[in-house]
């Protein structure tokens, strides 16, 4: 039940720190080492390439997973849209393994890919929030995202659970394969920092509501920019705003602005810039200045160690690949408050269903 919350979406946003802690207790042992089924790790370790097949928000989590599996487990990994992959299959490597990333476990576009790759004899794993679902049953292996039931149509806690489980699984695979980056990584510690950092952001709801009103109250469009994982979060923050507030929102790789998108910037166009990676912070900041010079209203969301006086929201520091666990929280809350301000049914946006069982 919703309890004191006006909408399930807000309840589910606030549950995210507890989900992080639940995943730690479920998938991390007493020595802070991530633990998964040995047969699953063996299957993953014998793959020469991983494909993460997903849709919508889960695809955005898959993009983060792509970097996590490459860097922590040393295996080439490609996130793919299920609706495209089913019909335009890329040239596969010799020994691929397929990971289906799906909150509901019922998405038809994903099932269509699963049926085909199983028929071709490839190993399959489903990461899902519904462990009794079709995709969990039909894959060779299944791992529970353990986020608890997600009722609001807009996915929130399933996204952060997906990123966290991908990180734990990539680290476990890297340790199994003795990849040096995995031995050094302390994903368990990072996830407990993430839980605290998420709580700090959830506690700033009044501020985020004011920022949402100032930025999005009247706008018809909005842009989210970043580089690397900040770009992946931009895509997800834009999707959240689109689906529940009906604002035309787009996420862009910040460096791509000058290749076309900047033409869309007008007086008062809202732009949210995510700045959490020391390698690219200066470049994203100059992109933010470029749009500001053309009249954009810019909200800068930055990591603590990179903070500048013009930044209006600060998130805690985390290893670069895990910052989406924090930066998406303001993305979710900005969308929530915009929908609320506009008087929409936050949990049941028009034209959308919770699980999409048609192709």
Q: How far is the CB of 349 from ligand F6R (least distance, A)?
A: 9
Specify whether the CB–CB gap between 95 and 47 falls below 8 A: yes
Compare residues 155 and 339 and give the one whose CB is closer to ligand F6R: 155
Q: Is 177 helix (H, G, I), strand (E, B) or coil?
A: coil
Compare residues 103 and 124 and give the one whose CB is closer to ligand F6R: 103
| Alpha carbons 176 and 192: distance in angstroms, whole number | 22
Q: How far is the CB of 244 from ligand F6R (least distance, A)?
A: 8
In the block, tokens 């995210």 appear at 16
Specify whether the CB–CB gap between 141 and 166 falls below 8 A: no
Q: How far is the CB of 240 from ligand F6R (least distance, A)?
A: 7
Q: Is 162 helix (H, G, I), strand (E, B) or coil?
A: helix
Q: How far is the CB of 302 from ligand F6R (least distance, A)?
A: 25
Written as six digits, the tokens of 102 are 């799906």
Interface contacts to ligand F6R, rule CB under 6 A: 55-58, 102-104, 107, 110, 154-155, 239, 243, 355-356
Compare residues 102 and 327 and give the one whose CB is closer to ligand F6R: 102
Compare residues 71 and 102 and give the one whose CB is closer to ligand F6R: 102
Q: Is 236 helix (H, G, I), strand (E, B) or coil?
A: helix
Compare residues 106 and 316 and give the one whose CB is closer to ligand F6R: 106
Where on the phi/psi map is residue 237: left (φ > 0), alpha (ψ -120 to 50), or beta?
alpha
Q: What is the dihedral sign for C-alpha 171, 177, 180, 184?
A: positive
Specify whether the CB–CB gap between 276 and 230 falls below 8 A: yes
Compare residues 155 and 269 and give the one whose CB is closer to ligand F6R: 155
Q: How far is the CB of 87 from ligand F6R (least distance, A)?
A: 18
Compare residues 78 and 104 and give the one whose CB is closer to ligand F6R: 104
Beta-carbon contacts of residue 23 (< 8 Å; ≥ 6 apart): 146, 161, 164, 165, 168, 191
Q: How far is the CB of 54 from ligand F6R (least distance, A)?
A: 6
Q: How far is the CB of 261 from ligand F6R (least distance, A)?
A: 22
Q: Is 314 helix (H, G, I), strand (E, B) or coil?
A: strand
């Amino acid at each position: 039940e919703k309890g004191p919350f006006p909408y399930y979406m807000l309840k589910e946003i606030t549950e995210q720190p507890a989900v992080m802690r639940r995943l730690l207790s479920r998938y991390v042992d007493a020595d802070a080492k991530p633990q998964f089924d040995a047969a699953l790790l063996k299957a993953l370790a014998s793959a020469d390439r991983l494909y993460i097949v997903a849709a919508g928000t889960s695809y955005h989590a898959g993009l983060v997973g792509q970097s996590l599996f490459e860097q922590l487990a040393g295996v080439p990994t490609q996130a793919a849209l299920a609706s495209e992959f089913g019909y335009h299959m890329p040239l596969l490597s010799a020994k691929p393994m397929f990971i289906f990333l799906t909150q509901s476990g019922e998405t038809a576009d994903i099932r269509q890919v699963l049926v085909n790759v199983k028929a071709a004899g490839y190993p399959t794993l489903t990461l899902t929030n519904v462990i009794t679902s079709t995709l969990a049953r039909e894959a060779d292996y299944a791992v529970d995202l353990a986020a608890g039931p997600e009722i609001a149509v807009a996915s929130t806690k399933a996204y952060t659970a997906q990123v966290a489980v991908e990180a734990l699984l990539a680290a476990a695979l890297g340790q199994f394969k003795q990849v040096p980056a995995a031995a050094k990584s302390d994903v368990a510690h990072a996830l407990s920092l993430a839980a605290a950092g998420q709580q700090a952001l959830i506690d700033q709801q009044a501020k985020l509501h004011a920022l949402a009103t100032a930025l999005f109250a009247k706008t018809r469009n909005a842009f989210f920019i970043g580089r690397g994982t900040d770009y992946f979060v931009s895509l997800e923050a834009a999707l959240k705003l689109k689906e529940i507030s009906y604002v035309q929102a787009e996420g862009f790789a910040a460096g791509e602005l000058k290749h076309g998108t900047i033409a869309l910037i007008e007086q008062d166009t809202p732009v949210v810039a995510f700045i959490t990676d020391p390698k690219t912070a200066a470049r994203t900041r100059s992109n933010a200045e470029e749009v500001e010079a053309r009249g954009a209203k810019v909200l800068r969301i930055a990591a603590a160690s990179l903070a500048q006086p013009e930044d209006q929201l600060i998130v805690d520091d985390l290893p670069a690949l895990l910052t989406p666990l924090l930066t998406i929280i303001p993305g979710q809350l900005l969308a929530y408050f915009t929908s609320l301000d506009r008087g929409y049914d936050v949990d049941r946006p028009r034209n959308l269903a919770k699980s999409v069982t048609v192709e």
